[in-house]
Structure 1
Amino acid sequence: MVELAGRHRIGRLALLVTALLVTIPLPAATAPAPDPASLILVDGFEQGSFAPEGGLFYKDNPEQRAGRIAFGRNAPLQGQGELTLTAVPACDRRAEGCSERAEAWERPEVLVPYSETVWYGLAIRLNDPLPQDDRRYVMAQWKRETLRDAERDFSPFLALRLYQGRLGFTVETDLLVSYPIGSPERPEGCLPGEARVLNRPESHQTRALVAIESGATPESYPDYFDACAPGIRVTRHADLPSAQKGWIDFVVRSRPGPAGDGHVEILADGVPIVTVKGHIGHAAPGLDRNQYFKFGPYRAPNALPWSISYDDFRRGPRCSDVIRAGQCPAE
């Protein structure tokens, strides 16, 4: 009888446990986070702040705190809003390494690995007064993340710059073999398809001027692009619009490749400007796994404010995700 009663108690306990398992809901499985490389991001700056679906933010750091950020409605490219970023005088012009900037950054959670292809679209308008000197002026830049213990700085592997009032795109990579223009190897200039470069041995980097403004020649730009690098191959389709044009809608393919498999495409207002292949970007100690994009005025110290407006930010894994006019380049 005792054994039978014990069996009844065990049976009732089993039924109770089963009932609890049936009636108490188990926690739902957490959905995996989306792959950043597959995200399509859009921000027309219509909301008076950065849109959650755009993946952008204004970074709070000492260099940026003096800058100004304004969401406004002053003749946007389309829609009702635009973003104006202004770098203001904040450095002692005698200070070493000081810079002035006001940049919007991609958020860390949306960053894409350095080895992936990402397409960007962004409209840019340079506001008056337009700087005409030959200081450091950058309006948009693509970089590789660096670790805290990195021993040196790395320039953007792709950047939109201003040279004496003219637009220019540059790509940067680890130091390459190059041949000075006028040397026995390149007595008359660069061979077809070779990039015109500035070698910077002190920083172990080579910078190439890959796109110039309409009506200019490479000789119109600072004469420090004085060598030719076979390791960066440039196919020019057209020149950039004038910096004074007003709104320019850029589409850019970002695909760094420090080992020589990089591939960049640049379009402006639907017109293919340049295809760049070869050594693009950096591979060195102190570098992290992701690439990132930021835009806004960045410069060496200056006595005047510098203001740029932006509209219609787009990002996606394909050209068709971001293009607004013209045709996508063949892959």
Structure 2
Amino acid sequence: MVLRTAVRCCLLAGLLAAGIPAASASETLPYENKLTDGFDGKEFAPEGGLYYKKNYEQSAGTVEFQDKVVKSGKGALRLSVKPLCPASEPLCSERAEVWERPKLRAPYEKGMWFGFAVKFEEPLPQDDHRYLIAQWKREIGAGADGDFSPFLAFRYNEGRLFVTVETNLVPGKEVTKGKRALCGKGETAVWLRPDTNQTRALVAFDKHFGPQNGDEFTACTDKITVIDRGNPLPTPDSGWIDFAIYSKPGPEGTGHIELFANGKWVVTVKGRIGHNDKGLGEKQYFKFGPYRAGGPGVWALYYDDFRRSPRCADVIKSEICPFP
């Protein structure tokens, strides 16, 4: 009884520190609570569980709680990056990413719904470069060996928006060289990356993402399957885009992702999603904001209406939820 009481007290203290109502401590685990932040104040809302991580790469970024460009409510975030990386450091990155607080992160293979709205500030970059606007990763422990890409990433390149899924290296067949593969039924175009023991799959893109784009996805695999729901991603210049995502990693083949944009179902992804290398952590985490390899000029994005929950109806309208 004493041990049980002590555990309950520790859980309660953690919830209070993260801004979660105390009444939920005896009813739910921290990751089971609905998180929301409309960015209407001058700092992150306690009920959102978000924070801006400070390190060298993040020092390239600026966080602004502003009220000039807003999707709903009174405010929205403007996240921007400026040049930081010297040309002599090609692996350097420039970030302005907002993270989930560690105490609120979900177990790695637990399904969670996420929602956020994003708007690109003009001028939109048009170069062939590494840009990300949101990503989901697995925690990395001190004993892990390797460079692990996000298992789900929202990417931008040459004015086009696309989404990728990452897993450990899987069997696949090379179809073309220097050209995106056209894969058969039940297969998905992938980039085989044996140097990092990873496979990156192309799972969604906007209407301007043509055959000439994605030329690194030259192979096909049946270990990751994509069901096209008939709607492409919105284009980056179309204004506010409201995303809803179901994220459930499964490195052994039980992975499951659902993607909605502006209330329209885009794709379902199933199969090998995420990493299972030795030393990796037990939780997944989400972060959003501009992230690029070192580059010139200022790149800025606006974000609004963050929400997260294990329940679909907390993130999108219940009538379009594919499951509760």
CA shift at 1:62, angstroms?
Answer: 1.1
1:134 maps onto 2:128 in alignment: yes
Q: State the distance in 2 between where 1:288 and 1:155 align.
A: 14
Question: Identity over the aligned pairs, expressed in percent?
Answer: 48
Cα distance in structure 2, aligned partners of 1:180 and 1:139: 29
Shift of residue 182, structure 1, vs aligned partner? 4.6
Q: Output the amino acid matched with 2:142.
A: R
Picking from 184, 208, 213, the partner of 1:221 is 213
Q: Which residue of 1 aligns with 2:141?
A: 147
Give, as a single letter, the amino acid of the residue that structure 1 aligns with 2:144.
A
Q: Which residue of 1 aligns with 2:265?
A: 272
| 1:199 aligned residue | 192
Rounded to whole Å, the distance in 2 between the matches of 1:320 and 1:102 is 29
Structure 2: segments with no counterpart, 5+ residues: 1-5, 13-24
Counterpart amino acid of residue 40 in structure 1: K
Superposition deviation, residue 86 in structure 1: 0.5
In 1, Cα distance between the equivalents of 2:319 and 2:296?
40
Q: Which of 53, 58, 61 in structure 1 is aligned with 2:55?
A: 61
Q: Following superposition of structure 1 onto structure 2, how do residues 1-331 of structure 1 map, counting pairs within 5 Å?
A: 30=9, 32-33=11-12, 34=25, 35-182=29-176, 189-217=182-210, 219-237=211-229, 238-324=231-317, 327-330=320-323
In 2, the alpha carbon distance for the partners of 1:118 and 1:265 equals: 10
The residue type paired with residue 223 of structure 1 is D
Q: Decide which structure has the larger Cα Rg and report it.
A: 1
Deviations 1:191-220 (A, max 9, x none): 123111101110000000100102434x24
Note the C-alpha offset of 1:150. 2.3
| TM-score in terms of structure 2 length | 0.88
Distance change >3 Å, CA 204–CA 31, structure 1 → 2: closer
Q: CA RMSD in A?
A: 1.8
Aligned length: 299
SS at match of 2:266: strand
Stretches of structure 1 that go unaligned for 5 or more consecutive residues are 1-26
CA distance in 2, matches of 1:215, 1:165: 9
Counterpart residue identity of residue 105, structure 2: L
Per-residue deviation, 1:93: 2.1
Q: Distance in 2 between matches of 1:42 and 1:264?
A: 21
TM-score (norm 1): 0.87
